[in-house]
Chains A and B, each alone.
Chain A
């Protein structure tokens, strides 16, 4: 132990711990009930789920990847990671947020209704955000946009004044830069 270590656990910045968002990639055995185990853990222990995505990612190895965005103090986030690791069906948990190689993306479908100048403005903004038009009628567009959750939030905010009708989002997906597999 270094000499400047705090005298007590209670001196270790215990008082001012602010909540932060965190994204966990949870690699699980793809078997019945596994999503319920993960979601049930969050419900039972009172952790918040901001978004959640899940799909089988390796059929041969029977693994699914669950990406969960949650919120908590550093102590709570450490506890969430430990509790996820503890599930027998969990192979590995990755804290994407604290991993400098973590990449996060989200996809959204955004329906906007409008005519005239507003319709043109919506299309122009979509172009700036590199959103794709995937369906159109005389008075509406459906945009497909990918990016960080922040970027999608901003795009949706801008569309609000231009006739936003409906939004559908995937929740955050994550992956690690580089050649490694987790």
Chain B
């Protein structure tokens, strides 16, 4: 349904006076999503997770240049097509109620999404009520304003905004941080249901634990590049291919709780070779020569010259 290959995004910034500099915020990003599949995108802040969502929705700032390919249902995704599809075929589950209109009741907002998708007011209202009902929201919820919702209710309203669109691709950007485990599980199950209904779902998160609870596949981003795409079960079975993914898994508190020192390289001075080379325990001279190409190793996708089958 969605194929992204070698996507790069560069921002042009003014440095001093009229001198311009190029910031490569995303380099060689790859991702694919099938209908009925939930793909998690995990990585640290600054790894390009949210920029990917912005690119798919066509809401990157004007100083951004894209290269590489993005295709949705077989057709290339141009900025014009993104604008046409967003909120209809491609929908976003926002991060918090901060994305809702604070001065409009949540019922009217969700109904309005239905109307923007071509439904007349009456059926849109019925659909909104049916959706709220399905998520066990109390009968008076449509008349509530965003600030009157508890954390768990807010999550269900935000998922509803995507459900009423009939979108084929749903993107959920960091839907879980700081929530109680019960609410996290509930939110993740709602996303899982969307995939079971035949939609493609992208779950953007920094929480590997949450991702593994519901994802079919996990794409790991580092410094704006995809370093590995693994099946969710590869994590528990130790079948990981990239040193960064292995380090991320080891650093969980329920595992070894050890960290790799250092930081992601800044977009202003990316290393010429592998982007993880300055922190990688397995680094060799070859790693510093050129960006590693992606390869298929043990049924997984990896960008590392040392991964072995």
Does A associate with B in a complex? no
